[in-house]
Chains A and B, each alone.
Chain A
Amino acid sequence: MKHLLTTEGIDPAQATAILDTAASLKQALEGREVRKLPTLRGRTVITMFYENSTRTRVSFEIAGKWMSADVVNVSSSGSSVSKGESLRDTALTLAAAGADCVIVRHPASGAAHRLAGWLREAGTSVVNAGDGMHEHPTQALLDAATLRERLGDLRDRRIAIVGDVLHSRVARSNVHLLTALGADVTLVAPPTLLPTGVEGWPVTVSHELDPELPGLDAVMLLRVQAERMHGGFFPSAREYSIAYGLSERRLKLLPEHAVVLHPGPMLRGMEIASAVADSPRAAITDQVRNGVHVRMAVLYHLLAHEEETS
Chain B
Amino acid sequence: MAPRQRGATDPAGERELLSAGDVARTVARMAHQIIEKTALDAPSAPAVVLMGIPSRGAPLARRLAVRIAEFSGVEVPTGTLDVTLYRDDLRRGPTRPLEATKLPEGGIDDKLVVLVDDVLFSGRTIRAALDALRDHGRPRAVQLAVLVDRGHRELPIRADYVGKNVPTARTEEVHVLLDEFDQRDGVVLR
Report chain A residues within 8 Å CB of B82.
24, 28
CB distance from A125 to the nearest CB of B (A): 13
Convert A11-41 into 0s and 1s, putting 1 for each residue whose CB lies closer than 8 angstroms to a CB of B.
Answer: 0000001001100110110011110111100
> How many positions in chain B have a CB within 8 Å of any CB in the partner chain?
22
Contacts of B99 in A (CB 8 A): 24
Chain A-chain B contacts (Cβ-Cβ < 8 Å), number: 58
Contact, CB under 8 Å: A39 / B95: no
CB closest residue in chain A, given B94: A305
* Distance to closest chain B CB from A89 (angstroms): 29
B12 to chain A, nearest CB (A): 32
Contacts of B92 in A (CB 8 A): 306
List the A residue with the shortest CB-CB distance to B109: A33
Contact present for B136 and A306 (CB under 8 Å)? no
Q: Which residues of B contact A301 (CB under 8 A)?
A: 95
A244 proximal to B (CB < 8 A): no
Residue of A nearest to B128 (CB): A38
Q: How many residues of A contact B (CB 8 A)?
A: 22
Question: Are A305's CB and B93's CB within 8 A?
Answer: yes
Residues of chain A lying within 8 A (CB to CB) of residue B137: 33
What's the dominant secondary structure at chain A's contact region? loop
Q: Does B91 interact with chain A (Cβ within 8 Å)?
A: yes
Q: Which residue of B lies closest to A301 (CB)?
A: B95
| CB closest chain-B residue, reference A37 | B85
Task: List chain B residues, Cβ under 8 A from A300.
Answer: 85, 95
The winner among B131, B134, B135, B137 for most chain A CB atoms within 10 A is: B135
Binding site for B on A (CB under 8 A): 1, 17, 20-21, 24-25, 27-28, 31-34, 36-39, 300-301, 304-307
Give the top 5 A-B pairs by smallest Cβ distance, nearest first: A24-B98, A34-B135, A304-B90, A39-B85, A305-B95
